[in-house]
Structure 1
Amino acid sequence: MKDTFKSNDFVQTVHTIHAKRIHFTYCKAIVDQELIQNELLHRIQISEAEINHLLVLKNVIPLENIKLSSNVDEISQSLTKGFIYIQLEPDLNEGLLVHVADLRRGYRLNNEADNEYSVIGPKVGFVEDIDTNLNLLRKELISENLRFEEYIVGSLSQSRVTIVYLDGVCNPQHVNTVRQRIEDAGVDVLFDSSILDQIITDNAKSPFPLFMSSERVDRAKYSILSGQVAIFSSGSPYFIAGPTTVFDFFVSPEDYYLPWVLASFFRCIRYLGVAFSILATPFYVAVLTFHYSVIPQSLLGPIIESRANVPFAPFLEVLQLELTVELLREAGVRLPTKVGQTLGIVGGIVLGQAAVQASLTSNILIIIVSLSALSSFTTPIFKMANTIRFLRFPLIGLAAAWGSLGIIIGLTLLLGHLLRLKSLGTPYIVPLFPFRFHEFKDSFIRSSLSLTFNRPRYFRPLSLKRYKVSKSKDIPDDYNNE
């Protein structure tokens, strides 16, 4: 049980009541503090009975689900489920386990994960209260090996930051690295966990996110069980987790709630959508500026007719249309939901039609830019979607300068940058580099659960097995034996 108390959210206090010293041990992240104060401590204080034995104390407490226990394993398991352990001096070898879990906190109507919506699976998200978020984790991960370590960051804000990991699974080197970087964070105010992300990241100059950021409880559980370190901060509904790879940002929680064939298909669609979103408009500029010969003859006529009255070069034509789409997207995000949706639909239709009639752009380019913008929305993580939106613009400039050679140069520089990136010391594009063939089971595709029972080796977990594969399917049932 002593190992359980290594977590900072476990509290041990001693109260002297009626000349008797009573020890209380509980997990503050999951218990109901009001219930402890009003129904437990208050009833003991006003009791007229002489509390000289645990059975007397048991009769005084007006709560159900109370039991005597001296078993260390049972006590440790009960503490992680919302029990408080009460011991009475001088005999500290036995105590009372009283259930005082807060079953209401965290589960309310306004903590749905609206920004990472999925049709299948749980929809509970984190909120701005860090105690509520830790409460949700304790309810979902009932393990005495779940560790919470709390720090205070910000000389003015004094914000609470808690790192969460699974002892015996997460590599201690990753935990120590996160500890050191948080302790060295010299900020005055910590507004959000994204600020902490930029402070502790391995490369703050990169446009690529090196820490996973999400508001979903199920994604936090998956990250912790995989051997990652999750970081929560007060005032933020988002957690960050690391180390991560670039492939983690294209994984949706819904992938694991669907059959593996469908999940793999949709994940491949996601990767194709990202490639199209980045390369579609640069190829349009390169082809119309330098490589007319690659255009099929059947398509050459519609392109000439579409661009006959457009006064701008392909580069300026693409640039103004891409900027218009970004303006519409930014305006839609900043406005209230219903108004933003109306602006996006009406503004896109009206501006697109007006731009074609005014000969400011071509019909074909509007189709390409629209599909490119639509493809960028397939990325589940918002931070990676922003990176994809940004990467189009330098590639468009390189395509306008050197055509397809410029695109190749841009992609080469991008690949070189990705090869240098690391997240908590883990290569960013593993298992592609360093090449790990066996780790492709849950990167480009989502393999069957019978093949993904191991945690990712590149996270260097202390415990490799995530679960055991059942062999019951291979055993014929009674019906087949007849």
Structure 2
Amino acid sequence: MSVLFKRKSTLTSNEKQKTIDNVNTGEVVPSVASDFIRAVSGAVHHTSDLVVKSLPPNLTLIYIENVMDIASFNNHILQDLFKQPIESPQDLSTILSISQVEITPKIEDAVQAMMAGAVLIHVEGYADVVLGMVPTTEGRQLSAPENESQVLGAQIAFNESLSTNVSLIRRYIKNPNLCSENFTVGKESNTSIALLYIHGIASDEMLNTLRQRIIDLEIDSVLDSSILAQLISDNSLSIFPQMLLTERPDKISAELLLGKLVVVVDGSSLVLACPYSFLEYFQSQEDQNQRWEIASFIRLLRFGAVVLSVFLTPIYVAALTFHYEVIPQSLLVPLSESRALVPFPPLFEALLIELIIELLREAGVRLPVKVGQTIGIVGGIVIGTAAVDAGFTSNILIIIVALAALASFTTPSYTMGNVIRVIRFPLILLAGVWGFYGIMLGFCFILIHLLRQSSLGSPYTAPFYPPRLFDWSDSLVRLPLPFTDRRPTNTRPKDKVKYKPEPINPEKHEQKVE
């Protein structure tokens, strides 16, 4: 053992560089054990957590101890190697009791597998290496969703393990047509990615497009699915998200059944789904679990809350700056009394309060949970009361800003909720400069921008533009289930029919009582 490590440390810089270059060019595995150790050690720059073991008479084991499961290594690989003499790499593939065993002739593939948790087993005299996969299994336990809670439905969320997340999806969809394709993205991070879809439902054109975008990525690392979403979206410069990010397995499973594509990134607790339209960001999986009347009411409430959150404060600024005639006469007196002591114009007053609200919201998110909730509630009350008493703002604006902030929390998607928060500020500025004309200008700009967007080639404003009447049954409102028997057109599904509803005939199922 000491001889092996001394041999590693006495390599010259030229030999090290030559070894690394050989690995990068796809050098075959050396048949001599000492050359094999030198090649692997040089490829990982003699990292301190590299372990080399020699098992007489002809075996050499190399692995990274921090990325592999030591218990599985000791209980399976080591015990299996002592059962009988090993004559060739092919003997190892039949003796080892672990599930994943491969043989490769290339050093580059062997080193890549070792970094993912494989043990390299080299047999003296053979230019092949056996890869025994025993990756570490540490990870966060499954828990309830923290950011997408619901009353009716499953109470489980994804975690940071790719295999666990894929298994959660397969638990919902026990279908052999559920396909998974594995990719490795990131020249430095080598992040594992799984692309999931249902064969026979998902569009081949969209599948090829998404597959090609993932393959064509040239980036050092992809550490989270939100980064991947920005890289493979149709328009990465747009403020509006074009792919869903969710932590709910039931939501992802429902999207797969609609013909959409799903991307799971190792190390991320959020899973991607696409294509996705603008209206779908305001729909929740819980809507499908409710009666259609209740689900439709809640959806209309959400859409109304979004309009209220975006336009309420700009309308206040425009009315007080340019358009006093739109204010009801009964509100003129209390409004003038409320603003009598405010030295600032409505534009500055509104921006000041909106920024304070955003600061409180951001502070509440970054602080620990128990402290953040208290700071958000107490801070809002104290600062709001002090601002009114000091004459910095009026009581009416405090109520308007609080309503707008409360309405923004009704959006089920966190990414779309952030968009709603941001676009309110340009509209307030336009309202303070040009009044209602500025609000209309900003609204037209947003509408034109939405009409120009797409998600994986699918129209972002579907089903209203282009108009698709069959998809209206599950858009602003959710009609009864017999009217939602077709998959949405924007996913271009091969199988367009989800089910064939038949009205229940009570007389047909009525049992005769003798």
Fold conserved (TM > 0.5)?
A: yes
Secondary structure, counterpart of 1:163 in structure 2: strand
**Cα deviation, residue 478, structure 1:** 3.1
Cα distance in 1 for partners of 2:480, 2:357 equals 39
Calculate percent identity across the aligned residue pairs. Answer: 46
Cα distance in 1 for partners of 2:510, 2:318 equals 67
- Give the match for residue 145 of structure 1: 177
Match of 1:404 among 429, 433, 436: 436
Tell whether 2:458 aligns with 1:413: no
Tell whether 2:322 aligns with 1:283: no
- Give the match for residue 121 of structure 2: none
Secondary structure, counterpart of 2:222 in structure 1: coil
- Give the match for residue 463 of structure 1: 495
Secondary structure, counterpart of 2:483 in structure 1: coil
Cα distance in 2 for partners of 1:132, 1:229 equals 18
Secondary structure, counterpart of 2:501 in structure 1: coil
Match of 1:344 among 376, 398, 423: 376
- Give the match for residue 102 of structure 1: none
Tell whether 2:331 aligns with 1:310: no
Match of 1:323 among 352, 355, 363: 355
**Cα deviation, residue 480, structure 1:** 7.7
Match of 2:402 among 361, 370, 380: 370
Tell whether 2:209 aligns with 1:172: no
Residues 423 and 139 of structure 1: is their aligned pair in 2 closer, same or farther, counting only changes over 3 Å? Answer: same
Match of 1:224 among 237, 252, 256: 256
Tell whether 2:455 aligns with 1:423: yes
**Cα deviation, residue 106, structure 1:** 12
Alpha carbons 2:209, 2:456 under 8 Å: kept: yes
TM superposition score normalised by structure 1: 0.78
Alpha carbons 2:192, 2:265 under 8 Å: kept: yes
Alpha carbons 2:178, 2:196 under 8 Å: kept: yes
- Give the match for residue 96 of structure 1: none
- Give the match for residue 58 of structure 1: none
Q: How does 1:37-186 map to 2 (within 5 A)?
A: 110-186=142-218
Deviations 1:259-316, CA, capped at 9 Å, x for gaps: 1100100010000000000000000000000000111111100100000000000000
**Cα deviation, residue 477, structure 1:** 3.2
Alpha carbons 2:140, 2:159 under 8 Å: kept: no
* Structure 2 counterpart of 1:253, one-letter code: Q
Alpha carbons 1:317, 1:361 under 8 Å: kept: yes
Secondary structure, counterpart of 1:450 in structure 2: helix
Tell whether 2:299 aligns with 1:267: yes
Cα distance in 2 for partners of 1:296, 1:138 equals 58
Alpha carbons 1:157, 1:189 under 8 Å: kept: yes
Alpha carbons 1:127, 1:236 under 8 Å: kept: yes
Alpha carbons 2:427, 2:439 under 8 Å: kept: yes
**Cα deviation, residue 471, structure 1:** 3.8
Cα distance in 1 for partners of 2:328, 2:273 equals 48
Tell whether 2:413 aligns with 1:360: no
Deviations 1:87-114, CA, capped at 9 Å, x for gaps: xxxxxxxxxxxxxxxxxx9998643211
Cα distance in 2 for partners of 1:107, 1:166 equals 28
Cα distance in 2 for partners of 1:389, 1:128 equals 28
- Give the match for residue 28 of structure 2: none
**Cα deviation, residue 345, structure 1:** 0.3
- Give the match for residue 440 of structure 1: 472
Residues 480 and 380 of structure 1: is their aligned pair in 2 closer, same or farther, counting only changes over 3 Å? Answer: farther
Secondary structure, counterpart of 2:281 in structure 1: helix
Cα distance in 2 for partners of 1:343, 1:349 equals 10
* Structure 2 counterpart of 1:316, one-letter code: F
TM superposition score normalised by structure 2: 0.73
* Structure 2 counterpart of 1:427, one-letter code: P
**Cα deviation, residue 470, structure 1:** 3.6
- The structure whose Rg is larger is 2
Secondary structure, counterpart of 2:262 in structure 1: strand
Relative to structure 2, which stretch is displaced further, 435-444 or 343-352?
A: 435-444
* Structure 2 counterpart of 1:370, one-letter code: A
Which structure 1 segments of 5+ residues have no match?
1-33, 48-60, 62-104
- Give the match for residue 267 of structure 2: 235
Alpha carbons 1:106, 1:135 under 8 Å: kept: no
Cα distance in 2 for partners of 1:475, 1:461 equals 37
Residues matched between the structures, number: 395
Match of 2:415 among 373, 376, 383: 383
